[in-house]
Amino acid sequence: MASIFSKIVAGEIPCYKVAEDEKHLAFLDINPMAPGHTLVIPKQEIDYLFDMTESDYIDLELFARKVAVAIKEAIPCTRVAEAVLGLEVPHAHIHLVPINTEADMDFRHKTTLPGDQMASIAARIAAQVK
Ligand code: AMP
């Protein structure tokens, strides 16, 4: 069965898209730790990030870097943190989270934001993707 993220890639489930290229997609996490919390995925479904080929993994990280730079431009923050868990969704993904303190990166404390706010955050980040 296709992962929920493959359904997003296929357009069967909506997302707040931030960036896309031929092989990758970036969209807002539906339960963000902070406004601008973004997930970066390979379009081709693979469960475990570190099972990716070296070349696919490097391409994903290069894409994530581009998105992280855009997040830093769009969202006031000290750093954009990167994390990999993969405990919930079996489709490799990288979390990018704008943070000011260590407490901003707490996977036990996520929130939800109104749809119009999510759409506006996604648009602000998308506008900074070079
Ligand atoms: P993990 O697999 O532990 O890295 O966590 C998966 C992340 O995906 C969580 O932070 C969820 O909030 C997020 N998530 C799950 N479903 C969706 C969705 N449909 N759209 C955006 N983010 C999602």
Pocket mutation for ligand 1, best pick of 17, 89, 105 (most atoms within 8 Å of C-beta): 89
| Ligand 1 atom nearest 87 alpha carbon | 3
Query: What gap in Å lies between CA 55 and CA 42, rounded to an integer?
Result: 12
Contact yes or no for 59/45 (Cβ under 8 A): no
| Ligand 1 atom nearest 33 alpha carbon | 10
Q: What is the mean pLDDT of residues 100-128?
A: 97
Kindly indicate the confidence band of residue 1, based on its pLDDT and cuts at 50, 70 and 90. Answer: confident
Question: Is 93 one of the annotated active-site residues of the chain?
Answer: yes
pTM greater than 0.85:
yes
pLDDT in tens, 57-94: 999 999 999 999 999 999 999 999 999 999 999 999 99
